[in-house]
Amino acid sequence: MTGKLKKRLYRIIVSAIFFFSGMILPHSLLPYLHEILLISAYVIVGYDVILKAVKNIMRGKVFDENFLMTIATFGAFALKDYDEATAVMLFYQIGELFQSYAINQSRKSISDLMDIRPDYANVKRDGEIVTVDPEEVAVGDEIVIKAGERVPLDAVVTSGRSTLDTSALTGESLPRDVSEGDAILSGYINLNGLLTATVTKEYGESTVSKVLDLVENASSKKSTSENFITKFARYYTPTVVIAAALLATIPPLVLSEPFSGWVKRSLIFLVISCPCALVISIPLSFFGGIGGAAKRGILVKGSNYLEAMAQADTVVFDKTGTLTKGVFAVEEICPAPSFDKDGLIRAAAFAECFSSHPIAASLRKAYGMDIDQSLVKNVSEIAGKGLSAEVDGITVHAGNKKLMEEIGVICQDTPDYATVVHVAYDGKYMGYILINDVIKDDSAAAIADLKASGIKKTVMLTGDNKAAGERVGNMLGLDKVYTQLLPGDKVDKVEELLKEQGENSKLAFVGDGINDAPVLARADIGIAMGALGSDAAIEAADIVIMTDEPSKIATAIRISKKTLSIARQNTVFALVIKIGVMILGALNMANMWAAVFADVGVAAIAILNSLRALNTSKL
Amino acid sequence: MKKTFKLEDLDCANCAAAMERGINALDGVNSATVNFMGMKLILDAQDEKFDEVLKAAKKVAAKYDTTIVG
């Protein structure tokens, strides 16, 4: 508890002592003792409220809480109800204290969450290591990161080897090994070794600044429920105050009853007239949801996007780099009769040992052993067809069907969903190898998860041929697959799908952010994946998933739904209590205590409830 | 020009909303956002009027007992 809050607490305690002595001590002890004690209690606890009220009136600001509380309690004094006036002020201040405490608490949880900012950097200058502010480090400077320290700026490791905790940025609990030549990002934590690295980006441009900037500014893009509450709040207070004025005057005139009873009822209205509970708790819920999502490696660029995510019913995926790794790997080795798998892959890997093509790389990887390049001679490429080489002195041809036709070898029928490398050994058909883009481990689970969290339609867009695209679609359980699309066609397809969308449902597009910026922009919600370190993707998308796991999309939807339900709970709770107490008050069935609870008590409870949005670890 | 300022003594969310409206209504302001939880003001105003705008914004903030630092 801060000093300021403590001071308020002491005032409340002292005032409470006066109040209770005034209530307990017999009235006959001293004339006016009761009144003196109660007024003292009132002044001790409420003087700042009255002062603020006076100050605000001078500034022409009428309908503020302080003013209304002053009027309400003065009204009670005028009605000779000293107990009630003091009790209400006391209770109001207790509520305010509790509310401030709740706000401080939530500000603290949020700043703890955002505590990924590096405090300092160890820079090598003239052979010595000096500790400086990360902002003072330039690109090209050499920095040293010791065990337990945070990486201060984006850099490339020049020496050392270590394990890094990336969870602050990615939400990933598994640490990552790095060594010379690896890129490291600011915000990672060095767990064990000593690393020396060359800075690649200055602090303002580094990942940690970008991420913090994004999350902190996300609240400026407001959701419709926030906008509604802000608008509502503007009309709420004047409406309630006018209703109070009417309640104090009309019924006594019409019913020709004394004013006092009705004034008392109207005071209840004044106490409830602050919309604070709503104004704080709704934005706080969204802030919490955005913060909680960031903790899981999901950056949401605005409350409006978090809100839209809950309404999504169609998710469109780009295939390569999103559902698949975008890396080729050998899927199947199919030797012709009289040859075996090992021989086939060995021949292919050796023949392709000098090539830098991704297909060649995948063959070498599948072979898995060291290749003695001295055994390979006379390599010649045959453009658009493949190559020939002498492996162990025997001619090997590796390539497509056209190559086999050219050398007069008859090859087997092959499936058309993958890239095929046929191999001929000494002019005889040796078999073929199927190479494919690898599907990510969690893609199938991600699609099933999306279905479970209420997504009606999952679509995949790809430039691949029909057979390849549809095969992936079937394996993952996607509802619809569009194949053979050129990059420009993807925008058209998304536009077509947008037209099919219902009124209140949203379409999300998931891409890797590299060449699909126009599509990301066109969709209701653009989601970029695997975006850690890629500025372009962070720029183009509305929601950025730091890791390359498609399963995070369902997580984002669940976070969004939880956030919205908390915001809704708070709205309903605050309105029901406020309106309920007003109705009861007008019917003379509620007292000031209930009114104070409906004001500050409800606000404090709503704030505490919104804090739940921060907790996303189980979603 | 867009600048972020820290706010002190921002205790009431309703005041933050009212303050935001007040600053947005100032001449020369492109957009102003008050972040209640982060206790920050993000002020985007015309370059040549920026100092003037900031002065006026401080006056608005003072109405709500809030100080704009910087």
Where in chain B are the domains? 2-69
- DSSP letters for A369-395: S---GGGEEEEEEETTTEEEEEETTEE
- B49 burial level (CB within 10 Å; 0-12, 13-18, 19+): middle
How remote is the C-alpha of A207 from its chain's centroid? 16
- Same-domain status, A278 and A303: no
Our count of domains for chain A comes to: 4
Structural contact between residues A154 and A169, judged by C-beta atoms closer than 8 angstroms: no
Chain B CA closest to residue A103: B37
Q: What is the pLDDT of residue A291?
A: 86
Using alpha carbons only, give the angle A606, A217, A2 rounded to the nearest 5 degrees.
50
Q: What is the pLDDT of residue A325?
A: 86
Using alpha carbons only, give the angle B12, B13, B16 rounded to the nearest 5 degrees.
95
* A318 given a catalytic annotation: yes
d(CA A435, CA A361): 11
Q: What is the pLDDT of residue A521?
A: 87
For residue A211, tell me if it sits in a domain: no
For residue A354, tell me if it sits in a domain: yes
Residues of A in contact with B17 (CB under 8 A): 230, 233, 279
Measured between CB atoms, which of B16, B17, B37 is closest to A107? B37
For residue A117, tell me if it sits in a domain: no
Structural contact between residues A548 and A530, judged by C-beta atoms closer than 8 angstroms: yes
What residue type is A129 in one-letter code? I
A107 Cα to chain B: minimum distance (Å): 6
Q: What is the pLDDT of residue A476?
A: 94
Cβ contact, residue pair A280, B42, below 8 Å: no
For residue A179, tell me if it sits in a domain: yes
- Same-domain status, A167 and A28: no
Q: Any idea what the CATH number is for the domain that residue A315 is in?
A: 3.40.50.1000
- Same-domain status, A57 and A29: yes
Q: H or E element: which one contains A78? A: helix A65-78
- Same-domain status, A231 and A336: no
For residue A290, tell me if it sits in a domain: no
Compute how many other C-beta atoms are within 10 angstroms of the C-beta atom of residue A560. Answer: 28
Q: What is the pLDDT of residue A517?
A: 82
* Contacts of residue B48, Cβ cutoff 8 Å, sequence gap at least 6: none
Place of tokens 């001295």: A374
- Same-domain status, A22 and A67: yes
Chain A CA closest to residue B43: A220
From A201, A232, A255, give the residue that closes a domain. Answer: A201
Q: Is the pTM of this model over 0.80?
A: yes
- Same-domain status, A336 and A237: no
Place of tokens 């093509």: A357
Give chain A's contact residues with B (Cβ, < 8 Å).
52, 59, 61, 64-65, 100, 103, 106-107, 110, 216-217, 219-220, 230, 233, 274-276, 279-280, 283-284, 287
- A128 burial level (CB within 10 Å; 0-12, 13-18, 19+): exposed
For residue A132, tell me if it sits in a domain: no
DSSP letter at B69 equals E
Chain B CA closest to residue A236: B14
Q: Tell me if chain A has a CB within 8 Å of the CB of B50.
A: no
For residue A74, tell me if it sits in a domain: yes
Measured between CB atoms, which of B13, B40, B42 is closest to A276? B13
Low-confidence ranges of chain B (pLDDT < 50): none
Q: Which of A64, A154, A165, A318 is catalytic?
A: A318
Measured between CB atoms, which of B14, B33, B37 is closest to A279? B14
**Average pLDDT for runs of 10 along chain A of length 619:** 84 93 80 87 93 84 78 86 87 87 80 80 90 91 92 93 88 86 90 92 86 77 86 86 91 88 86 82 87 88 93 92 88 90 91 87 90 88 87 91 88 86 91 91 93 94 89 93 88 93 91 82 90 70 88 94 95 93 91 87 89 86
A2 Cα to chain B: minimum distance (Å): 13
Parallel, antiparallel or unpaired: strands A155-159 and A128-132: unpaired
From A520, A546, A572, give the residue that closes a domain. Answer: A546
Q: What is the pLDDT of residue A82?
A: 87
From A413, A439, A465, give the residue that closes a domain. Answer: A439
Measured between CB atoms, which of A52, A110, A233 is closest to B17? A233
Cβ contact, residue pair A276, B36, below 8 Å: no
Q: Tell me if chain A has a CB within 8 Å of the CB of B27.
A: no
Q: What is the CATH number of domain B2-69?
A: 3.30.70.100
- Same-domain status, A347 and A435: yes
- Same-domain status, A101 and A243: yes
Q: What is the pLDDT of residue A363?
A: 92
Chain B CA closest to residue A52: B65
The interface predicted TM-score of the complex, written ipTM, equals 0.79
**CA-wise closest residue to A455 among A317, A313, A316:** A313
- Same-domain status, A504 and A459: yes
Cβ contact, residue pair B37, A233, below 8 Å: no
- Same-domain status, A237 and A310: no
- Same-domain status, A595 and A449: no
d(CA A32, CA A38): 10
- Same-domain status, A577 and A516: no
A325 Cα to chain B: minimum distance (Å): 38
Cβ burial A317-346 (10 Å sphere, 16+ → b, else e)? bbbbbbbbbbebebbebebbeebeeeebbb
Domain around A28: 3-111+222-283+564-614
- A10 burial level (CB within 10 Å; 0-12, 13-18, 19+): exposed
